[in-house]
Structure 1
C-alpha cells in the first residue's frame, strides 16, 4: 500500500502484520477458497472476533485486487468472496455486538473521587474524563489537540484528521466547547490552562495509553464493571440527544457522517423524556396570553 503513496494506518498495519505472519509464505495465486476458509477458522481459534476476521478477509481482497489491477497478475478476488460467504455461514464473520454501556452518575462520581484521592496520580484524570463526556471526543483526539487548534473568540476547537471509514487525512472538524452535556468543555479547557501554566503545544500533553491504563485501574478499584473509556464518547453523544439536539446537530459534535452509525451510538435513557416534554410544553403565561 505504501507504493501508491498512502502508508497504512496503525490498525491496518497491524492487520498486515498478522497476515504476513500467518499467510506470508503462501503464493498469492495459491490462496484459494479452502485455504482462506482454513485461515479464518485458525484466526477464530486464536481469538479473532467476527469483525476482526471480516477486516482480515477484506484486506486480503484489497491486496489481490491491487495485484491484479496494478501489476497485471492473473488472479481473481472471487475465491475471497466465496470464502467470506462460507465464513459468514459458519458464524465466524459478522457484525460486532453493539455496546450500550453508559456510566451511571454514581459510577462517574466514584471515579472522580478515586482520581482525586490518588496522590500518586499525576494525570488530571477527572478533568480528562469530564472533557471526554463534554465533547464526545475519542481518547487519541483528546491527547492530540493543541492550543493552536483553539478558537478563543468563538469557543471552538479544531480536531484534525478525525477518524473516518474512508480516509481521515484532512478530515478536520470544528466543534463547539459548551456545557450541553452537563460538563462545561470551555471551563475545563480554561482550568487545564491554569493547571499547566502555559498554552503552547498540546492541551492535554499526556500519553493516551497512560490515560487509558489509569482509567481501567480506577474502574477496577470502584467496581465500574465493563466500562471502557470509549463509552464516555457514547455517554456524551447520548447526553446531547437527551438535551434535545437533533441528529444533524449532534453529528457536528461527534463527527459522524453516517447518521445510521450515529444512531448506533445513541442510548437515551427513557426517564429523560419527561424533561424534554416539560421543556417543550407551553408555559401557563403563554397559554393565557393566547386565550
Structure 2
C-alpha cells in the first residue's frame, strides 16, 4: 500500500480474507494520518529548509552555538540536504553514516546524527511540520568509542610545567595546576571572574558550566595561592582572572607540549582535558565519596563520572592488602 508522502506498507497473509481485513484497517489508519498530514508540504520543504531555520532560531540560544553553527553549515553542503522531506528516509542517512565512517571517528558521527535528529524532532514537535516520523530515529548509531583512560604518568606534570616556564605568558602554569587541583574544564578556567572567588573560605563558584548547572567547589591551598596572585589591587568584580581566548590557550598548550616532547616523546598524547581525568581520579584516591566528587566535577550522570575515573590498579592492590592485613591482625 502506497500513499504520497508516507512510507509504503506491506504484509503477507495466508488467506485472502485476512489480507482484505488488513487492507481496510490500514486504509483507515492512512486516512486518519492524511487528515493531519499535507503531503504537498513535505514535497515543497527540503531538509536544508529545516537546517537553516534551526540554525537561525535554535542554535543561537545554546552555549556551544559557534561549533554547532559550523556543523550545520557543513550539513548544507551534502546532496541529501536538497532532498524534499518526503524523500528524507532513514536509508538516506544510513548511507551518509556509512560514508562518514570512512572519514571521521565514531564519536563524530554520533554527534552529527544527534544534531540531525534534534533538527527533525524540533520540526515535528514545534514547527508543525507533518513528518510521520523522525528519519534519524531508526538509523543505527556506530558503537561509541571507549573513553580515554589517559592519566599523568611519572614525572609528566613536572615536564609540562618545565616546558611552560619558557612561554612568555604568565597564565599557562596556573591553569595547568588549577586543572589538576580542581578538575575544571578549560572553558570554566577561562571564565573565572573576581566575583566568583571566596578565598576566605577557599571556595569558587562556577556560574556557567557545560551541564547548565552552577556549582561551588572547594579549593586546595595551592589553588587559593594561585588565584590570589591573579588578583591585583585594581581588579574589579567582573574582571577575568585569565583574559585569554580559547584559541590562544590551545596554541599555548600545543607549543608547550611540543617543547616537552623533544625530551619526552610520550607526552605528545597528553591532552589538556586529560588533566580533568587526573584530578577526578585523584579525588577518589584521596578518599572522597561519589557524591563529593560529583559535587566538585559537576557530573550529574554517575556513568559519565566513572568514565572520567581511572584508578591505578597498583594503588587499589595496596589498599586491599592493607585492609586484609588489618583484618588478619585483628
State the TM-score, normalizing by the size of structure 1. Answer: 0.80
Contact 2:203 2:216 in 1 (8 A): yes
Question: Could you tell me how far 1:280 is from its partner in structure 2?
Answer: 8.3
The alignment status of 1:188 with 2:226, answered yes or no, reads: yes
- Residue number in structure 2 paired with 1:49: 105
- Residue number in structure 1 paired with 2:301: 258
Question: Could you tell me how far 1:63 is from its partner in structure 2?
Answer: 1.9
The alignment status of 1:96 with 2:152, answered yes or no, reads: no
The change in CA–CA distance for 1:234 and 1:79 in structure 2 (over 3 A counts) is same
The change in CA–CA distance for 1:123 and 1:20 in structure 2 (over 3 A counts) is farther
Contact 2:121 2:134 in 1 (8 A): no
The alignment status of 1:160 with 2:207, answered yes or no, reads: yes
Question: Could you tell me how far 1:29 is from its partner in structure 2?
Answer: 2.9
- Residue number in structure 1 paired with 2:94: 37
* Aligned partner of residue 313 in structure 2, secondary structure: coil
Structure exhibiting the larger radius of gyration computed from Cα positions? 2
The alignment status of 1:199 with 2:241, answered yes or no, reads: no
Question: Could you tell me how far 1:267 is from its partner in structure 2?
Answer: 0.8
The alignment status of 1:17 with 2:59, answered yes or no, reads: no
Question: Could you tell me how far 1:125 is from its partner in structure 2?
Answer: 1.7
Contact 1:57 1:80 in 2 (8 A): yes
Structure 1 segment 100-119 matched on structure 2, within 5 A: 100-116=149-165, 118=166
State the TM-score, normalizing by the size of structure 2. Answer: 0.72
Number of residues of Structure 1 aligned to a counterpart in Structure 2:
264
Deviations 1:107-127 (A, max 9, x none): 1111111111x1x52243222
Stretches of structure 1 lacking an aligned partner (at least 5 in a row): none
Mapped partners of 1:36, 1:64: distance in 2 = 12
Contact 2:163 2:257 in 1 (8 A): no
* Aligned partner of residue 83 in structure 2, secondary structure: coil
Stretches of structure 2 lacking an aligned partner (at least 5 in a row): 1-53, 262-266
Mapped partners of 1:225, 1:278: distance in 2 = 35
Contact 1:65 1:76 in 2 (8 A): no
